[in-house]
């Protein structure tokens, strides 16, 4: 069985908390996978791949646009075309 972690990052650099989570997850199971999701985050995926405890990196890149409606203060995200 493997463990999947979701990487916390700012699309350019991995947050330290993710490294702590990888370390903790490796103590539960040695097969740690990390999902890197965001826009233009190839460098983050490379940074995660360089961590020896990570067995697999899953990269999901998506470019989002925000849709604002005048009648609502809510922000909804849709995939850009």
What residue ranges define each of the domains in the chain, with the CATH number in brackets? 3-79 (3.40.50.620)
Residue 13 has pLDDT above 50, yes or no: yes
Q: Structure pTM?
A: 0.75
Residues present in the chain in total = 81
What pLDDT, on a 0 to 100 scale, did the predictor assign at position 63? 59
Q: What is the pLDDT of residue 53?
A: 95
CA dihedral for 29, 33, 45, 6, sign (positive or negative): negative
29-75 pLDDT per residue, tens: 989 999 998 888 889 999 999 999 999 999 988 755 555 444 444 44
Q: What is the pLDDT of residue 21?
A: 96
How high is the pLDDT of residue 16? 95
pLDDT of residue 66: 52
Question: In this structure, how many other beta carbons lie within 10 angstroms of the beta carbon of residue 71?
Answer: 5
Phi, psi of 72 (to 5 degrees): -140, 150
> Which residue has tokens 């990390």?
34
């Amino acid at each position: 069985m493997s463990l999947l972690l979701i990487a916390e990052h700012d699309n350019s650099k991995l947050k330290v908390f993710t490294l702590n989570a990888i370390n903790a997850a490796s103590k539960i199971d040695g097969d740690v996978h990390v999902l890197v999701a965001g826009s233009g985050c190839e460098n983050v995926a490379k940074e995660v791949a360089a961590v020896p405890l990570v067995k697999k990196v899953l990269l999901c890149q998506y470019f989002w646009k925000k849709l604002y409606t005048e009648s609502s203060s809510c922000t909804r995200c849709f995939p850009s075309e």
